[in-house]
Amino acid sequence: MTEKLALITGASRGFGAAIAEALAPTHHVMAVARTTGALEELDDRIQAAGGRATLAPMDITDAGAMRHMCRSIHDRWGGLDLWVHCAVHAPPLSPADHIAEKDWAKSVATNVTATGQLIPFIAPLLRAADTGTAVFVDDPAAGKFHGAYAATKAAQRALFDAWAAETAKSGKPRVLSFAPAPMPTATRARFYPGEDRSTLADPRAEAQRLLAELGLSA
């Protein structure tokens, strides 16, 4: 495996797209998201900057598709250098005693079940690389009326924290969490529709901050 490969789950918009573009000068980017059009726009920007990407328009809750994707990564590249997990379902704000059943089910399926399936699929690929690294994109600030979102993000956090503790000695793979500053993303707009977005952090700046923490910045 000579070409550096980065897998971004939830790559079509917001921070996922920003980190995909930031990595493109040094990595072949595999971009996973459900929205084909947004992925194609991301690919256009990456190509315009001289980078290369492989688009994977699929739903991370489809375990069969994720398993096939990971097998394809193994067959083509032999391993994976970096996984940044940005994919998330953001249900409507609701009091905890009014969470709609469908919103709860989708939040658990996307944020918890899919994450719990992806870690075992992706871990062997990361261990095959010299410095395989997994990054969980956290959002610890969610509070009242964020019950379904906050609960399922906490479950994601618990999974990655356990994985980090289990691999701390070997470093195979390195498992990190990263909490971006509040950004003007579509997810945040659903939660705070009247917010002054001019005060929020640029996703591109937050992507560069993550690269610096990973030791990948120029």
pLDDT at 190: 82
pLDDT at 6: 98
Residue of 30, 145, 33, 163 lying closest to 94 (CA atoms): 145
pLDDT digits (tens, 9 = 90+) for 161-177: 999 999 999 999 999 99
Q: For the chain, how long is the longest CA-to-CA vector?
A: 52
* Position 191 confidence tier, pLDDT thresholds 50, 70, 90: confident
5-214: which CATH topology?
Answer: Rossmann fold (3.40.50)
pLDDT digits (tens, 9 = 90+) for 50-96: 999 999 999 999 999 999 999 999 999 999 999 999 999 999 999 99
Residue 29, both tokens: 């980017």
Q: Rounded to 5 degrees, what angle do the CA atoms 152, 172, 208 make?
A: 65
Domain boundaries, the chain: 5-214
Torsion of CA 53, 58, 62, 66, to 10 degrees: -10
Distance, in Å, from the CA atom of 124 to the CA atom of 127, rounded to the nearest integer, reads 5
The yes-or-no verdict on residue 41 having pLDDT over 80 is yes
Residues 191, 203 contacting (CB under 8 angstroms)? no
The yes-or-no verdict on residue 189 having pLDDT over 90 is no
Residue of 182, 186, 165, 184 lying closest to 174 (CA atoms): 165
pLDDT digits (tens, 9 = 90+) for 195-214: 899 899 999 999 999 999 99
pLDDT at 2: 63
pLDDT at 144: 87
Q: State the average pLDDT over residues 89-105.
A: 95
Q: State the average pLDDT over residues 18-33.
A: 97
Distance, in Å, from the CA atom of 85 to the CA atom of 10, rounded to the nearest integer, reads 7
pLDDT at 192: 85
The yes-or-no verdict on residue 141 having pLDDT over 90 is no
3-class state of residue 218 by DSSP = coil
Contacts of 168 (CB under 8 A, 6+ apart): none
Tell me the pairing of strands 53-57 and 174-178. Answer: unpaired
pLDDT at 155: 96
pLDDT above 90 covers a percentage of the chain that reads 88
Q: Rounded to 5 degrees, what angle do the CA atoms 20, 22, 24 make?
A: 65
List, as one string, the DSSP characters of 72-134: HHHHHHSS-SEEEE-----PPPB-GGG--HHHHHHHIIIIIIHHHHHHHHHHHHHHTSTT-EE
